[in-house]
Amino acid sequence: MKTAPARPEAAPAPAPPVRRARARRLLMCRPTTFEVSYAINPWMDPAVPVDAALATAQWERLYRLYLALGHQVELIEALPGLPDMVYAANGATVVDGKVLGARFRNAERAAEGAAYLDWFRAHGFTEIHDPLHINEGEGDLLTCDSFILAGWGFRTAPEAHREVEAVFGRPVIPLELVDPRFYHLDTALAVLDGDEIMYHPEAFEPRSRALLRRLFPDALLADRADAEAFGLNAMSDGLNVVLPRAAEGLARQLAERGFNPIGVDLSELLKGGGNVKCCTLELRAPALGQ
């Protein structure tokens, strides 16, 4: 009697890579003047009340979390009449110690650009560039190892991309956003580590979507529910990924890839159209040897 040949055992799933956290230098702004008194994105509704005390308590928990994770956090004072200063990521872009200021599209936020540049001048930054074209800081300019990913379509002007490339000396990849709910790049895409990213494909114009697939074939993809929970408005230190608690599916995917997802609740600040990353500007030091 012949015996059936043994079936080959399935190869075990590869282990996720070993992740390492790297301490970051961050800039934040307490929401002492935060309110929703105008609407410049689909998330803002002045008719919906904001609990200022709760917004501050949620922000403070994020601030203390960064400190507990070993990050250095510096603070800029919120100015009266500028309720969106809490969204520090929009205030500038800092790469290799160079600062490119922000120039806002909406008049309601225009004065924030100068306020943030004043902070950089007062805190020892020497290579500071006033922007010629509209760019909304790290809201639309996200830095990975090989590129600066540059969102456009709602806020940052395409003309700014050449300026960004000249200031930082890094290749810029333009990515067109097409869904007004994801009006900044940092609501639709996050850099996790090196050239590893996560994003929501439907937020991008088809050619930009194809470009992302080609440049980042192993990217983590967020579904609509997690994207609408602002799950991509996240901050990663290479191991720990701080993101909205409601993005549960995204957190599971991150854990499967060896990251440590940490959920937080910034529901009051979401009423202004921002979350974790919007509240966090990274101050990238000059590379070694520069």
Question: What residue spans define the domains of the chain?
Answer: 25-282
CA distance 113 to 194: 28
Give pLDDT, residue 10: 58
The pair of structure tokens assigned to 290 is 């520069």
**Domain spanning 25-282: CATH superfamily:** L-arginine/glycine Amidinotransferase; Chain A (3.75.10.10)
DSSP-assigned letter for residue 88? G
Tell me the torsion sign for CA atoms 153, 62, 17, 251.
Answer: negative
pTM of the model: 0.94
Is residue 88 within 8 A of residue 97, CB to CB? The reply is no
What angle is formed at CA 268 by the lines to CA 176 and CA 43, rounded to 5 degrees?
A: 35
> pLDDT truncated to tens, each residue of the chain (290 aa)?
555 555 556 556 677 789 999 999 999 999 999 999 999 999 999 999 999 999 999 999 999 999 999 999 999 999 999 999 999 999 999 999 999 999 999 999 999 999 999 999 999 999 999 999 999 999 999 999 999 999 999 999 999 999 999 999 999 999 999 999 999 999 999 999 999 999 999 999 999 999 999 999 999 999 999 999 999 999 999 999 999 999 999 999 999 999 999 999 999 999 999 999 999 999 999 865 54
Cβ atoms within 10 Å, residue 215: 16
Cβ atoms within 10 Å, residue 96: 15
The pair of structure tokens assigned to 111 is 């004065």
- β-bridge partners, 144: none
Is residue 30 within 8 A of residue 56, CB to CB? The reply is yes
Q: Which residues are annotated as catalytic? A: 184, 278
